[in-house]
Chains A and B, each alone.
Chain A
Amino acid sequence: MQLEVDVAKKTGNFSLQVAFDLVGKKWGIFGPSGSGKSTLMHILAGLLTPDRGRITLDGVCLFDSKKKINLPPQQRRVGVVFQHAHLFPHMNVRRNLLYGWQRTPRAARQISPAAIIAALNLEDLLERGVARLSGGERQRLALGRTVLSCPRLILMDEPLTGLDQELKFQIIPYLTKVLAQFDIPFLFISHSLEEIRLMTDEVLIFNQGRLEQRLPAEELARRALVAGGRGYANLLYLSSPRPHGDLWSYQWGATELILLEGGGKGDNLFELGAKDVTLFKRHPEATSARNLLPCRVSDLFGEGNRMGVDLLSKGNHLVSQIVPESVRELDLKKGSEVVAVIKASAFRRLY
């Protein structure tokens, strides 16, 4: 996907003025509410007309105030997954799902309804009225409906906001799976750092109607370590859970980890707080912690009394948060060998 945007829009006291070019597939737009994320989404979808500027998607001009081009939403082939799903209440699941597909030119129908129904587990819901769907089912249907309109770009406007944590992590695997399976580029709009990290590779940061910065999602997360708050969380995709005494062992690449929590079906994504990774200079002979990982320091970052240590262990990256005094005492620098110690109970299952 190649998206070029240079637009300005003033509404009341708020003015949006942004210019950027994007190449790639998994983009996030991050910012507090009122920063212009939603306004930009509406402009890209053709639901709001900018005062001036230009929008080009994959070489097709969607809007150009100088040339007086303004493609209506139905001709842009830019799909939207709205925060509140906005399923049509007078149609059942099947009719909702096929609404966009039936309006897609035959030549552009690259995705079949059967594939989407299977991928999103919608078989048993097809004849149901949308009022009788749960929150997760609604969001799955909304995603399927948008994907089936075979868009060149999907805009996701805080699709997980308002869902509880458990539900959110039920939906995310569907989102990532479907978007990857059907190879659709997307812009994921959110004010949740966690969602942005799970969904996107790179992020545009908005503030007060301006594009403040663009950086990798991982970089954004590392700044959270410095800024405090919940700090940095390592995200670990673990595989092949096996019982290990009364604990569980998982594979993390070539490393074996011991966890308290049992294995689930499919992917296992765990969160591990950077504060829960303790560093030792040498291998401690005996410890209550179940995981001891020999690592090499690949980077040190942070400022003030919050330091992040980027560790490399058999090809896996892990971040530990420590204080500057420890950095000095352990004499940490790039290339130092340390042992990372993690308790079996420190891992929190996301899904």
Chain B
Amino acid sequence: MMLTLAPQDIEAIVLSLKVATASTLLSLPVGIAVAYVLAFTRFPGRALLEGLVNLPLVLPPVVVGYLLLLLFGKFGALGRLLSFWDLRIIFTLKGAVIASSVVGFPLLVRAIRIGMEGIDQHYLQAARTLGARWWDSIYTIILPLSGRAIIAGMTLMFARSLGEFGATIILAGNIPGVTQTIPLAIYEYTNTPGGDRMALSLCLVSIGLSLIVLLISEASVRSFRKR
């Protein structure tokens, strides 16, 4: 079987990669910070924060998308605020990035947090008694030692973003060339008579991309272990 891709499909692939890359990189600093807070600090309301972070993991993505639509819509709290700067989220690429970020965030935080919780606290104590300030010990001890967990989290989140459908279609719509990522394009093909072959081609691309992501992640984890 020949793998045939229409120009529109190429656009969908490029958009998917853009959305996944942007949402993963933008979420990373916040993800690391939240993972740190959950792994190392005890404060009232911690359980609430943990619940909030993990909520998108258990909610149907459509529900997440709808809540985001309410928040960022014309009459939503954030939507109105952003309209002051002429920023529109819904039915834009930004919307797709936000939808992916929110849905993938729990996976990122979970992986990093597990990595951080595995770090022996004594390393931090040793660093502090050797003269390292708090942020210094985070930068020189915690981050390098959670390197593998961070890569694992980024991989999970990137892969999850590549496949994001429910929240994206509600917040960003399904506009070819603007917000139509691979899953949305497949969805459209399956609704079009005679689109089966094109849908299958994109499915193969999707499988290929996921495999590449896994291989890259495996390789970087290995290079981390060597050091």
A and B found bound together? yes
How many residues in A have their beta carbons less than 8 Å from beta carbons of B? Answer: 24
Give the Cβ gap from A78 to chain B, nearest Cβ, in Å. 7
Query: Across the interface, do A79 and B122 meet the contact criterion of CB distance under 8 Å?
Result: no
Interface of B is mostly: helix
Alpha-carbon distance A78/B129, docked complex (angstroms): 7
Alpha-carbon distance A10/B123, docked complex (angstroms): 25
Given contacts A88-B126, A90-B144, A90-B145, contact A100 B120 (CB under 8 A): no
Alpha-carbon distance A86/B127, docked complex (angstroms): 9
Give the Cβ gap from B135 to chain A, nearest Cβ, in Å. 11
Q: Mark B110-134, 1 if CB is under 8 A from A, else 0.
A: 0000000000101101111111111
Residues of A within 8 Å of B147, CB to CB, are 90
Q: Which residue of A lies closest to B137 (CB)?
A: A74
A-B contact count (CB 8 A): 63
- Interface members, chain B 147-167 (any A CB < 8 Å): 147
Q: Which residue of A lies closest to B144 (CB)?
A: A90
- Interface members, chain A 77-94 (any B CB < 8 Å): 77-80, 82, 84, 86, 88-90
Given contacts A86-B123, A88-B123, A90-B227, contact A103 B128 (CB under 8 A): no
Q: Which residue of B lies closest to A150 (CB)?
A: B131
- A320 interface residue (CB < 8 Å to B): no
- A35 interface residue (CB < 8 Å to B): no
Query: Across the interface, do B130 and A145 meet the contact criterion of CB distance under 8 Å?
Result: yes
Contact of A73 among B129, B140, B227 (CB under 8 A): B129
Alpha-carbon distance A104/B127, docked complex (angstroms): 12
- A139 interface residue (CB < 8 Å to B): no
Q: Which residue of A lies closest to B224 (CB)?
A: A90
User: Interface centre among B126, B127, B129, B141, by most A CB within 10 Å?
Assistant: B129
Residues of B within 8 Å of A103, CB to CB, are 130-132, 136
Task: Pick the 7 closest A-B CB pairs, nearest first.
Answer: A103-B131, A100-B130, A73-B128, A86-B126, A86-B122, A80-B129, A90-B144
Chain A residues packing against B (C-beta within 8 Å): 45-47, 72-74, 76-80, 82, 84, 86, 88-90, 99-100, 103-104, 145-146, 149
